Amino acid sequence: MLNSSVARLSALLAARKISSVELTSAFLERIRSLNPVLNAFISVDEEASLGQARAADAVIASGEAQPLTGIPIAQKDIFCTRGRLTTCGSRMLSNFVSPYDAHVIERFDAAGAVNIGKTNMDEFAMGSSNETSYFGPVKNPWDVAAVPGGSSGGSACSVAARMAPAATGTDTGGSIRQPAALCGISGLKPTYGMVSRYGMIAFASSLDQGGPMAKTAEDLALMLNVMAGFDARDSTSLQREPEDYARDLEKPLAGLRIGLPKEYFVKEVDRDVARAVEAALGEYRRLGATAVEVSLPATRLSVPVYYVLAPAEASSNLSRFDGVRYGYRAPAYADLDDMYRKTRAQGFGAEVQRRILIGTYVLSQGYYDAYYLQAQRLRRLIAQDFVEAFRQCDLIMGPTSPTVAFDLGERSSDPVQMYLSDAYTIAANLAGLPAMSIPVGFGQGSRPVGLHIIGNYFAEARMLNAAHRYQQATDWHLRVPQACPDGAPGTRE
């Protein structure tokens, strides 16, 4: 049961082979046994989850079930959840019980899904290893000495370790795709504007996008069907006809043109990662796809551009955390300014402070043009490269991350090394394009490798189709981490 896909569980629930209460109990028990080691969840409210499960069973009994009714979903702790702790991985919000629900949470509630718990994350989604969480690092279920990636590391870990069949994540520069790759699961960042940001605590507003994380592409499609949709409360939410993202899953891939950016296969990619990606591309050729070389020359600027724009927006977005209306307030201070300074110095961790300082600097008088404006100009060049490339191909593929999961502590003292982990994923955020990662093998230390797939705007169904067909032909997505073998603990009966 714990190893089953969402699609399979949905069928079992519909056929009354299992109940949501049974399913939810099994995952809760799994969390109880593994979370002390893996630290994937910040908060779990068993009673609330079981309450939702009972309600879901009633809905199923009444014949009104939707595909996700009764399915436990792990929610990244960046999504405001009414009446529940919503910390964003920060001391600043360590006591924050949200008075309202994020749009994404409302959608899952309306779909009858069960919120199985709030997952750990890099503080305010700033990090690529999950080591910046106030609640301690998440461990990689494939090797507890390794990081799970970030910032949606808790979500990735929870799915990989079978503590949840699927999870939500958010992706500002790779925060869904990189941890998905490092934990051997599938994750999708949709086109900017498809998933409402209302109630999703902002990191960098023009780049943030929520998306699904699951074992299979098919599950991602089912999740996206719930998450995507217009929301009048988000001015950047796009008004589009609803679509079924699972509609094209089975389409044959014959004729699919895969663009391979020559810039992606450079020396920075580790050999083991390159090998696994090459093998996956070979599989795609067998499935009927053809490869074309494309060029994304401006992509090499992604990291510097991102580390100007994202901190700039973040420095402003995080100004609201001032200890006045909610959240942490320093216990002792001399005056108002001192309260601000101490509250923010104590409430934010080192990485968040670092990014606020970078962002403040690049926006400050005398530096705005050279940094912020220049970065926005280069952002356009980066986006234009993709427009050009998509004239020649349908999807762009490459490695999600230049390396497999690195060891805990290995990069935490060197921000630049850490920032380079996202070298391949950032460009899609800057351009607002949909992008995903699927598991395609293992590299050094038997740690997973992810294949990065970038699509044109609104090409999610096509991307999911390509990922699904690959998963039909391979079994990387079915591998279970040794640290948590086969899911037996949850099925004692």
Interaction with another protein in 238-297: which residues (CB under 8 A)?
A: 238-239
CB of residue 481 to another protein, shortest distance in Å: 32
345 binds another protein (CB under 8 A): yes
Could you tell me the two tokens for 31?
């969390």
C-alpha–C-alpha distance, residues 169 and 180, integer Å: 10
CB of residue 274 to another protein, shortest distance in Å: 23
Is 151 an active-site residue? yes
Nearest to another protein of 246, 435 (CB atom): 435
Q: Binding pattern to another protein, positions 135-154, x when CB under 8 A? A: --------------------
348 binds another protein (CB under 8 A): yes
4 dihedral zone (left: phi>0; alpha: psi -120 to 50; beta): beta
CB of residue 37 to another protein, shortest distance in Å: 30
Handedness of CA 194, 199, 204, 208 (dihedral sign): negative
DSSP state at residue 424:
T
CB of residue 492 to another protein, shortest distance in Å: 39
Q: Which of 6, 34, 102, 126 binds another protein (CB under 8 A)?
A: 102
Is 76 an active-site residue? yes
Q: Binding pattern to another protein, positions 423-462, x when CB under 8 A? A: -------xxxx-----------------------x-----
Q: Which of 25, 94, 290, 316 binds another protein (CB under 8 A)?
A: 316
CB 476 within 8 A of CB 441: yes
- Which residues within the stretch 352-371 sit at the binding site for another protein (CB under 8 A)? 353-354, 356-358, 360-365, 368, 370-371
Nearest to another protein of 44, 303 (CB atom): 303
**Between the CA of residue 446 and those of 74, 265, 420, what are the distances in Å?**
26, 22, 22
Is 214 in a helix, a strand, or coil?
A: strand
Q: Which of 337, 475, 492, 493 binds another protein (CB under 8 A)?
A: 337
383 binds another protein (CB under 8 A): yes
Could you tell me the two tokens for 21?
């209460």
204 binds another protein (CB under 8 A): yes
112 dihedral zone (left: phi>0; alpha: psi -120 to 50; beta): left
Q: Which of 201, 213, 220, 224 binds another protein (CB under 8 A)?
A: 201
Q: Of 128, 129, 175, 412, which residue is the catalytic one?
A: 175
CB 80 within 8 A of CB 102: yes
Q: Binding pattern to another protein, positions 155-194, x when CB under 8 A? A: -------------------------------------xx-
- Which residues within the stretch 51-90 sit at the binding site for another protein (CB under 8 A)? 79-80, 86, 88
CB of residue 441 to another protein, shortest distance in Å: 30
Nearest to another protein of 337, 475 (CB atom): 337
* 179-187, 230-238, 247-255, 394-402 -> range binding another protein (CB under 8 A): 230-238
DSSP state at residue 220:
H
**Between the CA of residue 327 and those of 86, 90, 96, 136, 349, what are the distances in Å?**
10, 10, 6, 19, 14
Q: Of 76, 118, 189, 215, which residue is the catalytic one?
A: 76
381 binds another protein (CB under 8 A): yes
- Which residues within the stretch 387-426 sit at the binding site for another protein (CB under 8 A)? 414-416, 419
CB of residue 428 to another protein, shortest distance in Å: 10
**Between the CA of residue 323 and those of 22, 125, 320, 347, what are the distances in Å?**
42, 20, 8, 9
Chain-centroid distance of CA 322 in Å reads 27
Give residues with Cβ within 8 angstroms of 75, minimum separation 6. Answer: 81, 104, 105, 108, 115, 116, 117, 118, 119, 167, 168
Nearest to another protein of 97, 473 (CB atom): 97
Q: Which of 378, 438, 454, 463 binds another protein (CB under 8 A)?
A: 378
**Which residue has tokens 């300014």?**
337
CB 352 within 8 A of CB 346: no
Q: Cβ atoms within 10 A of the Cβ of 485, count? A: 10
* Number of chain residues interacting with another protein (CB under 8 A): 99
Q: What is the Cβ-side half-sphere exposure of residue 221, based on CA atoms within 13 angstroms? A: 22
Nearest to another protein of 301, 453 (CB atom): 301
100 binds another protein (CB under 8 A): yes
Partners of 189 in the β-ladder? 435
Report the catalytic residues. 76, 151, 175
